Structure 1
Amino acid sequence: MRALLMAVAVLMLAGCGEGAADKPAKVQAPAVAQVSTPQWDVLVDDPKAVSDLTDRLIEHGFPSFVAVRDGKERVLLGPFNTKAAAEEKKAQLALKMSYQSSVVDHVL
């Protein structure tokens, strides 16, 4: 059933560009530069394997991601728009799972 739905979707999308050559191209306005505000992450300090830690966090309602910091894979929660929101999540993590963590700058 899923394969049938995918096949129908592909066939429908295949005809989307039909007749597009007759229409003039739309001109988009130049992108406006956005000033980025600082964001924050919660760095989870735990010696367990990264995959085990992320699994446990997800099981307990803490979506996380893995990033390389200081040459090591680190497990982080976030990003959060304010430091206060990150501090609140850090407190929830300590209360619910007894993990030590710290609030750090969000770096991509």
Structure 2
Amino acid sequence: MRKVIVMTAILALTACGQESNDKIQRAKAASETSTVQAPIAQWAVEVKLGKTQALSDLTARLLEHGFSSYIYVDEGVQHVLLGPFNTQEQAQEKLTRLTTKLDNLEAAVIELPPGKPAH
């Protein structure tokens, strides 16, 4: 759509006899899309499963207390994660809230490896 508008503007300038290479170049430059890198979330809170605890029980317990989690499988090992978070401080705040609300829970802030899905 944007290119159609730019081409229409270029044609209008040409038809009016106001063809200016500078104006055409500015119109073309405005139509080019600039790439903006979104912040990459690289932190999460990993909640460890107890030896006798089922994965479904842990995720249900987290959800019951207002913590939305997801399961990440890496080389056959299931990890229960909260997040992702853009900063380590945000992940630490979530960990503090988690350990305050839930007793007997082993959890830690982890850095997500590059190239691994954050969600």
Partner of 1:87: 92
- 1:50 and 1:74 in contact (8 A); partners too: no
* Paired letter, 1:32: T
CA RMSD after TM alignment:
2.1
| Structure 1 position 105, deviation (Å) | 1.5
Q: TM-score, normalised by structure 2?
A: 0.60
Equivalenced residue count is 83
Contact preservation (8 Å) 2:41, 2:84? no
- 1:32 equivalent in alignment to 2:35: yes
Tell me the residue number matched to 2:6.
Answer: none
TM-fit CA distance, 1:31? 5.5
Q: CA 1:97 to 1:71, structure 2 compared with 1: closer, same or farther past 3 Å?
A: same
**Superposition deviation, residue 38 in structure 1:** 5.0
Partner deviation per Cα, 1:2-56 (whole Å, 9 max, x = no partner): xxxxxxxxxxxxxxxxxxxxxxxx2474351416445210000122222221111
Q: CA deviation at 1:82?
A: 1.1
5+ long unaligned stretches in structure 1: 1-25
Q: Percent identity?
A: 40
Match of 1:43 in 2: 46
The TM-score normalised by the length of structure 1 is 0.65
Q: Distance in 1 between matches of 2:49 and 2:110?
A: 16
Instruction: Return the index of the structure with the highest Cα Rg.
Output: 2
SS of aligned partner of 2:66 = coil
Which sections of structure 2, spanning at least 5 residues, go unmatched?
4-30
Task: Indicate if the aligned counterparts of 2:43 and 2:86 stay in contact, CA closer than 8 A.
Answer: yes
Q: State the AA in 2 paired with 1:100.
A: E
